[in-house]
A and B are shown apart, each in its own frame.
Chain A
Amino acid sequence: MSFGEQLPIVFSALNTGFLQTMRLFLITLVGALPLGMLLAIGEMSRFRLLRTIIKTVVWIIRGSPLMIQLLIIFYFPGLVFNTPLWGSGESGRLAAASVAFIINYACYFCEIFRGGIQSIPVGQEEAGLVLGMKPTQIFFRVKLLQVIKAILPPISNEIITLVKDTSLARIIALQEIIWAGQAFMKGSRGISGVIWPLFFTGVYYLAFTGILTLLFGRLEKKLSFFR
């Protein structure tokens, strides 16, 4: 097969893989951002036990490799309880990967949210109280935008890291883009022993993180009207 004949085959496979990468990326964001917010609220609550539990979970999740978490979440139910919770197909692998990623990223987001909220000077809250505002009004009208501005840089870092971290799901054979590119090394669709598709996977990542970087840059600029 000539290079010209290989090219469309490879791209179609990489596109399919990238679609799976995007799915994992988006599912993780949609799940982890709100979960991280809930964890952050819990971590600041009056209930000491709840705070301790959340702190411990966050420590364990952030202190151990996502790779291990993926393996455990995917294989644990089947190997230990003999109930292969996730099924064996690609959709089962995506579900397991999503759960692992959501838990992992929620813990990182939690710390960012908490830090952001606590970075707002207490004088902002007090100024609102003295003006007769309700706590919810103070949160939404006074603090929220300041928090968003404060957390935007670390959040965008985390999200760009997430784009690349999705490739870790390769370890449970999720058919994301690295898996798709690697397949042509061993042999797939009549093509084998080539490494150049793997280079192209890098281009997908670069393009996507490039777009995200621009997007977050623009958001940061939008919020630069105040300090």
Chain B
Amino acid sequence: MAILEVQNLRKSFGSTLVLDDISFTMEKGAVLSLIGSSGSGKTTLLRCLNFLEQPDSGIIRVNGETLLDAAAATASDFHRNLRLKRLHFGLVFQSFNLFPQYTALENVMLAEKLLAREQPDWKERKAARLQEIQAHAESLLADMGLKDRMNNYPHQLSGGQCQRVAIARALALNPDILCFDEPTSALDPELTGEVLRVIRSLASLHTTMIIVTHEMSFARDVADHIIFLDSGKICEEGTPEEVFGNPQQERTRQFLSNYAQQ
């Protein structure tokens, strides 16, 4: 069964149609790369999946569970259990959005801690739970190569380190699908490598990911499936070999050749 099914997703802002009838599915452990020129709707698609935007129509299903059926949903349906629905997805932002007043470790721990507090047995098990949560956060940060940076505040870290903290933070709640919105676009070129390396290692661990990126060689490398978005429509999709090696659409060839020239 597909881990993610998106059907006929549509979203407009005012009179501009930003996502036009988007449908795709993903298997567990797969890596999907979303490419497309700026303004094509990539960010909006990720924001819909993370319930930061309310689609006008369409269906979002995770593990067979319908999280959103815009046709049936009223505004209040959309907002019901919004927090639980969001937990199926993680989102890594282009601009990191770390919490500046917390250390790297605290950034990673915060959400899990707040969720744990809602458990009925929190009071009795507080100390043990906190220890578990801290150990979990520490191991995530260590996986990101930040073992000796855990107690630094975001302003004491480089952009690449910040983004790796943000990835650890997104992983802390074990989302089914981890989304990245141009994770290296805000970074100096010499720092993109360390972030891409981390994402590659997540792919090798079969983390289900949707990655919006302008790093074409990285997308080709890491993704199992490519979707090329153009003006809110899926213009072309397929394996990296198909889309990069033998694009069928004129628009795709145009887009890719712009990149090849750079």
Contacts and interface: CB of A to CB of B under 8 A. Distances in A.
Contact of A127 (B87, B97, B101, B115): B97
A131 B173 contact: yes
Contacts, number: 62
A142 B99 contact: yes
Given A226-B155, A227-B155, A130 B100 contact: no
Given A124-B97, A126-B52, A141-B114, A226 B154 contact: yes
A133 B112 CA distance: 10
B116 to A, nearest CB: 12
Interface in A174-212: none
Contacts of A226: 100-102, 153-155
Interface SS of chain A: helix
A89 interface: no
A123 B95 contact: yes
Interface string A109-144: 000000000000101101111111110010001100
Contacts of A145: 101
B83 A134 contact: yes
B92 to A, nearest CB: 9
Given A123-B95, A126-B97, A131 B111 contact: yes
Interface in B77-117: 83-84, 86-87, 89-91, 93, 95, 97-102, 110-111, 114-115
A146 interface: yes
B86 to A, nearest CB: 5
Contacts of A124: 97, 99
Interface string A23-56: 0000000000000000000000000000000000
A131 B97 contact: no
A110 to B, nearest CB: 24
A225 interface: yes
A127 B96 CA distance: 9
A176 to B, nearest CB: 40
Nearest to B87: A132
B87 A123 contact: no
Nearest to B169: A131
Q: Which size bracket describes the interface of A in this complex?
A: 20 to 34
B101 A146 contact: yes
Contacts of B101: 145-146, 149, 225-226
Chain A CB count within 10 A is highest, among B50, B86, B101, for: B101
A17 B83 CA distance: 56
A127 B99 contact: yes
Given A141-B114, A227-B155, A130 B90 contact: yes
Contacts of B51: 129
Nearest to B117: A137
A132 B115 contact: yes
Interface in B144-171: 153-155, 169-170
B97 A225 contact: no
Contacts of B91: 130
A126 B93 contact: yes
A137 B113 CA distance: 11
Contact of B89 (A121, A130, A142): A130
A130 B50 contact: yes
15 contacts: A123-B95, A124-B97, A126-B52, A127-B98, A128-B111, A129-B50, A129-B52, A131-B169, A131-B170, A132-B115, A141-B114, A146-B100, A146-B101, A226-B153, A227-B155
Given A130-B50, A134-B83, A146-B101, 13 more contacts: A123-B95, A123-B97, A124-B99, A126-B97, A127-B97, A130-B90, A131-B110, A131-B170, A132-B83, A132-B115, A137-B114, A149-B101, A225-B101
Interface of A: 121, 123-124, 126-134, 137, 141-142, 145-146, 149, 225-227
